[in-house]
Structure 1
């Protein structure tokens, strides 16, 4: 079997790092992994994790998915070197929660640029060749919040909904060319992104009424939040194994889940025609 060329975005930490390392250290050496990140000065942890695989089955490259010129330069160079991309894993993302009016429109745009347009840019670069070769896999890391939203994560959920919609629209078309696109709507993962929740993004508490701030804290402290997210938190290594299983699935599906808890939450939305169950689910975040 030929070595599969894999591109993964957002590999400086968390899911991207763990998945890149897992594929690069595969015993059969059937993957050649291009682990990308916006700032390659943050590569130390990945370098340490992959060890001898660096420069053999794993290569670190700079890629800022929010910049057209960065995406163009990366893929131009990669196609010159490899001639193809067999697997694309869109993992780069920003997690964020705060009352909508408490952040500027620029912040909302930044979230959408990274989580949605970032993935769209990379898909746009690989799809033509995948269709031509009639071969390829695209895996989009979305979120349970991309199928059923939760309070105070407005733009984050919107960006993940958009990525789910993009994938769902493409799936039947790409199947005509033996190219497969899948989403992985994850629950809470123990990663630096989950712990920071967009803490580096500018917020303005003065623009938010006191009641809304209290409601946000109430939602995060609720039994519903505990049940949906905290009780089902998954180690990053477990998530990497799920992503590998998606890549290797001989019968690719549109959507994969990573835990029973995630499946239960998604079933609310996917079986809810008129939205009543979805609203009832949302209201539970404010139960005392």
Structure 2
């Protein structure tokens, strides 16, 4: 039986590479994106390799858009085996520099966007008695640091949600997997947003600038997005997948350091590494 996958945020980076990777592995892949005018790169790659991949419009902030996309998939394929919740963005700026509205917008996409999709997809997978939901988190979903608390807290929330899902959905044959990339060599940092009303006299400007500079330096040697995609394709083949999979040497390094050090030791370690 043909396997069917849905991936969000496929216009570039991890989403694009994951959709292509799943299609290469034999999935009929629905590569979704908010703005389908940005689909030329993935469509050209799929056409060149003769892949079973279809671009569809899906805005994770829009419940009707999600319903329409999932309904289209069910109508065309009558099943859905894999959902990859990848769509998201980040905001740079310390907490006092970010408005409550901006924090809500960050969670609306990174957290509630995934929740809306899970609400639509989980009943399909329960009826099938099989399926896998892959939530693309971040090493920042396990480690807090200054400069982007909105993004980090949204990923912490996604990690907690995913742990709950594993207990709740496993009896119905649904696996939940968390992917935790480190700093990835994509245009993600270029698309990071700044506060809408920045304060030129912010007491946190120097700290934010240092952290942003450090992360951008790490991104120059970052992990290619294809490595994240390859990890997702690989773990989907495992009979009993683990709860979470870090991707990238930096992610492994930070998580190992956090495991081995006390909280204060780890804080001091991060200060040296990032700023």
TM-score normalised to structure 2 length:
0.91
- Residue correspondence of structure 1 range 23-34 to structure 2 within 5 A: 23-26=22-25, 30-34=26-30
Q: Does 1:279 align with 2:267?
A: yes
2:140 maps to 1:178: no
2:262 corresponds to 1:263: no
> Larger deviation: 98-107 or 166-175?
98-107
Task: State which drifts further: 175-184 or 103-112.
Answer: 103-112
1:169 is the counterpart of 2:164: yes
For 2:82, the equivalent position in structure 1 comes to 87
Q: Tell me what 1:22 maps to.
A: 21
Which residue in the other structure is 1:57 paired with?
52
Deviation at 1:231, TM superposition (A): 7.6
Matched residue, 2:5: 6
1:244 aligns with 2:244: no
Provide Cα deviations, 1:42-92, integer angstroms capped at 9, x if missing partner.
Answer: 1111112212567x6101100000111111121122212222210000110
Match of 1:48 in 2: 44
1:208–1:67: structure 2 CA closer, same or farther, 3 Å change rule?
A: farther
Match of 1:216 among 208, 217, 220: 208
**Contact 1:139–1:247 (Cα < 8 Å) also in 2:** no
Q: Are 1:111 and 1:156, in contact at CA under 8 Å, matched by a contact in 2?
A: yes
Aligned residues: 275
User: Does the CA contact (< 8 Å) of 1:5 and 1:84 recur in 2?
Assistant: yes
RMSD (Å), alpha carbons: 2.3
Q: Partners in 2 of 1:34 and 1:208 — Cα distance? A: 46
Question: CA distance change for structure 1 residues 3 and 270 in 2, over 3 Å: closer, same or farther?
Answer: farther
Provide the TM-score with structure 1 as the length reference: 0.87
**Matched residue SS, 1:176:** helix
Per the TM alignment, residue 282 of structure 1 is displaced from its structure 2 partner at its CA by: 4.2
Query: Which residue among 198, 202, 210 is the counterpart of 1:205?
Result: 198
Unaligned runs of 5+ in 2: none
Shift of 1:137: 0.6
Write the distance in 1 (CA, Å) between the matches of 2:88 and 2:248.
20
